[in-house]
A and B are shown apart, each in its own frame.
Chain A
Amino acid sequence: MKDTVKQIVERYGKDETRLMDILIDTQETFGYISGDATQIMADMLGISRVDVNQTISFYHFFSTSPRGEYAIYLNDSAVAQMFGRQAVKEAFEKELGIKFGEVTADGKIGLFNTACIGMNDQEPAALINNRVFTRLTPYRVREILKHIREGRGVEDLINESYGDGKNSLPSLRSMVSSNIRRKGMILSDDYTYGTVIKEVLPKMSPEAVIAEIKHSHMRGRGGAGFPTGLKWEFCRRSKGDKHYVLCNADEGEPGTFKDRVILTEKPELVFEGMAIAGFAIGGDEGILYLRYEYRYMKEYLEEVLNDMRSKKLLGEKISGIEGFDFDIRIQFGAGAYVCGEESALIESLEGKRGEPRDKPPFPVEKGYLNQPTIINNVETFATAVRIVQNGGEWFTQFGTEDSTGTKILSISGDCMFPGVYEVNWGFNVDDMLNMVGAYDVQAVQVGGPSGTLIGPNEFHRTLGYSDLSTGGSMIIFGKQRNLLKDVVLNFMEFFIDESCGSCSTCRNMTQVMTNKLNKILKGKGVANDLEDLKQWGKVLMASRCGLGQTAGNPIISSLKNFKPLYDVLIQKDKEFDKGFDLVASVQNSCKFVGRVPNFNHH
């Protein structure tokens, strides 16, 4: 064991900033990261053991105890729950005789919960040793476990044909479906990758590329919506030893999966966009930061990169342009939603806990390794290729004045045709629901849990940066759903789990508000509790990053748009209720001391 860990640390040049890779390799080799392994890393990197541990303990997929020969991670997103997760979960537990969070006594199989794995259009889904298993049912669970016991490898647990599109390629062999249901400029097949690098860039200066992007008025597709051209320009102007191009493929917002589809079907477009950005800002290196949930794409994406290298679309003197040296590597995360925040992503890239940085300075000045850095979403890079190909002016004919171009939506929940839809900005919610076959809709979660929950009286609103802004996650809830219990509470628990914990506000307020929500759900709420939630939620605005600032949104936005759902739970005859369940508490303590509770005295 010792020698293997030493080799892993040496593989990454004993470089502390590559700790993520060191930990991932160790976790994958041994199924966990032992105390001895941690000590070896600490000694070789010249840091304390707690220092190594603080990175390990930050990420969901790292573990200091064995997670089983087959580690099963069952998605627990709200949509998974809606589509039968409970029965699947119970089947796993019943078959194995263990609970989630445990490993079988023989060390063979471990069961774990995990946050949205980007498969909302094919739930319930699970990861088993980094392979994705979609559309699970109790029958499939029994079958999978039977096959595991028979000694089948994880590859041989798949018993259906591979998914559509490129999912069936030998380097992917995945049962995931891409479910592309509407194509636009990005998902269309009318572009031959490499065209811009080979034919357009040699005729353009970096400044001209930036000018086209600025002229297109494209704004970042990750959700925050910063003008892409400006970001590139700021970075180009910043002085540094090196300039970096980072692609944010950490799509962790529950309900979004469009980056998974873009990277499956059009990875060349994304990498070409990164190379164009590299050309524009004077970039030296590109890094794709990919969420660990998509580890199954590793071999495939590396094959794509190699293919692009062999075609001289990456590497040195690309397209014969002097000084245009640019290559891309893939860095995996290890399970942390907050790493989708750009500065947290950089911290993670540097081998640290994914705690967002204070701004200023912004990444364009001091980013990865303190050098000027741009970070853009997967979709932003893909879009940039089409802009540089056709010009910024061409691009502005799509979408609306303040939201140009197209947007790829991940649509899931209660509808006939969940999947990925590329639409022009300015699409309204009503049309969207008609498009996907959604009837009797109670609510739509726009932009994921950190976004807004809207009801039918707002379905006339349009998608765009000035009205309903979205990074792409659209979750539809039918009339039959219990919004507060099954959706809002699920989202709040997600934020509690995924907060980095750095800010006092986000670390504590999410819990305090959720406790209050639970009190209301138990029928112990009073009118004042609703006012409290409204006021308390404001404190979150003092948090450092977007996650913290929006972490109360599930409650805040449902309270605003679905107040009647709260009102019916509120006790009408009481002005105060401390929410303490005396009977339950007495029963509990009596159980401990072995007495029979007598409630007649009360």
Chain B
Amino acid sequence: MSNLIKFKIDGVECMTERGKYIVEAALENGVYIPTLCNMPGVKPKGSCRICTVKINGRLMTSCTTPVADGMEVESNSPEISDLRKSIIELLFVSGNHFCPSCEKSGNCELQALAYLYQMLVPRYPYEFPLREVDASSPYIIKDQNRCILCKRCIKTIKDEQGRSVFAFRDRGHRLEVVMDKELSHEMTPELAELAMKNCPVGSILVKEKGFIEPIGQRKFDKNAIGSDVKL
């Protein structure tokens, strides 16, 4: 089996097939590396930087870096954990994330990661930016206050002709994810559901369908994110 290669995560021997990304290979070996922008089966972009690990002294994103034979990956060290916590805090202060009033609470990956990394008060000052809520589509609401610009909707939500319903607008600190007016008016209810499901936070919500599942009984209310990954 020449296709099998060995590597180490935090000193633990792991094995995987050649060509796999570190994040996938880690999962197979029962090691959880947190992600936000990554989705299984979708080409990774490495934009949230949460899955950053250290390889040979260099910071690399594990969702975009394929495993190499003999690679030694540092993932759960105090340094990397604090870096991840920093990034989570950055995402919190640069948007307006009010968990108690959010429909996604308990199903939100950002919130779940904040709990996992025990974020209390972010070390960075809140920016309280003014952001818009776009409710022009008959099917979904796009709330810019909560968007973390992970690109998951851009990559996965397309119409039958493969056209993107969502896209970036502007750049840098003014960057936003916006909806196509025409396509978001014509989307199917199924696509709307998928858009909400693929959003890791509460930035895309399906209209007229709030709080069906009570807060307290949701996915991450019961178990911490990543806790289903077992050795």
Chain A interfacial positions (CB closer than 8 Å to B): 46-51, 53-54, 57-58, 336, 353, 358, 360, 496-505, 507-512, 515, 532, 536, 538-539, 541-544, 578-579
Contact = CB atoms under 8 A, between A and B. Distances in A.
Given A48-B165, A53-B167, A507 B49 contact: no
10 contacts: A358-B45, A498-B172, A499-B173, A502-B47, A502-B151, A503-B47, A504-B48, A507-B173, A511-B127, A544-B49
Interface in B168-182: 168-175, 178-182
Given A360-B66, A543-B49, A579-B125, A496 B173 contact: yes
Nearest to B122: A512
A358 B165 contact: no
B87 A501 contact: no
A50 B90 contact: no
Nearest to A532: B123
**What 4 pairs between A and B have smallest CB-CB spacing?**
A501-B175, A358-B64, A50-B167, A499-B172
B94 interface: yes
Question: Residue among A49, A358, A532, A579 with the most chain B CB within 10 A?
Answer: A358
Contacts of A511: 94, 127, 173
Contact of A539 (B86, B162, B172): B86
Contacts of B164: 47-48, 50-51
Given A358-B45, A505-B49, A542 B83 contact: yes
Contacts of A539: 83, 86-87, 90
Contact of B49 (A497, A512, A538, A542): A542
Nearest to A579: B125
Given A500-B172, A504-B50, 19 more contacts: A48-B165, A49-B182, A53-B169, A57-B171, A58-B171, A358-B64, A499-B173, A500-B171, A501-B172, A504-B49, A505-B90, A508-B93, A508-B173, A509-B90, A510-B173, A515-B125, A532-B123, A539-B83, A539-B86
B173 A54 contact: no
Contact of B179 (A50, A512, A542): A50
Consensus secondary structure, chain A interface: helix
Nearest to A519: B125
A508 B91 CA distance: 8
B172 A46 contact: no
Contacts of A46: 161-163
Contacts of B91: 504, 508
Contacts of A543: 49
B45 A502 contact: yes
- How many residues of B sit at the interface, in one of the four size bands? 35 or more
B169 to A, nearest CB: 5
A358 B49 contact: no
A513 to B, nearest CB: 9
Contacts of B34: none
Contacts of A507: 94, 149, 172-173, 175
B94 A48 contact: no
Question: Residue among B48, B52, B167 with the most chain A CB within 10 A?
Answer: B167
B47 A50 contact: no
A536 B59 CA distance: 16
B44 interface: yes
Contact of B169 (A50, A497, A505, A510): A50
A579 B124 CA distance: 13
A512 B90 contact: yes
